[in-house]
Amino acid sequence: FIDPYVATGYEYEVVGSKFATIQIPNSYGDGQFNVYYWDGSAWVAAGTIGVNDPFNFLAIDPNGFSKIKIDGIEIAAAVDPTDPLAFITGITLASGGSGISITQTALETCDGAPDCAAAIPEPHIFLLFGTGLFSLVYARRRAIKKA
């Protein structure tokens, strides 16, 4: 099996409420994670947490945040970005109710395997066409000179 992409972090977004706290109950890599919140136009570094250390977003904004991010997962931890159970996250919301939706999006990176390295771009079609046309003209001129 080949699975060269790994998750080095996750973005979380909630609709219908706001995030109050976040906590990572398991150790992945060194167990230290960077926490961010979205201020409406950019990610803002909020701090660092360790395993089982809750981070309280309400201390920054009493209403919480609708988008947060956590990163700092080492590549060696090999967290599968396609597995929804690979990175367990504890969260609390600032308010409850119905119609709440939460998404978790993996921040993927290549683990260094050759099959996910940057692709080598193919030559542009006009470059190929021009080279072929030049070769035909050159070959034709050589044939005329010999005759």
Each of the 147 residues of the chain gets a pLDDT tens digit; together they read 455 789 999 999 999 999 999 999 998 889 999 999 999 999 999 999 999 999 999 999 999 999 999 999 998 898 999 898 899 999 999 998 888 999 999 998 887 666 665 555 666 776 767 777 778 887 888 778 776
Does residue 20 form part of some domain?
A: yes
Q: Is 17 contained in some domain?
A: yes
Count of residues making up the chain: 147
Give the domain extent around 18.
Answer: 5-116
Residue 145 lies in a domain: no
Cα separation, 77 vs 7, whole angstroms: 9
- State the pTM of this model: 0.73
Q: Is residue 25 part of a domain?
A: yes
What is the domain count for the chain?
A: 1
- Is there a domain that residue 143 lies in? no
Distance between CA atoms of residues 70 and 31, nearest Å? 12
Coil, strand or helix at 133: helix
Is 12 contained in some domain?
yes
Letter string b/e over residues 61-86, b meaning 16 or more CB atoms within 10 A of that residue's CB: eeebbbbbbbebbeeebebebeeeeb
Q: Convert the pLDDT of each residue in 45-73 to its tens digit.
A: 999 999 999 999 999 999 999 999 999 99
127 inside domain = no
> Is 9 a domain residue?
yes
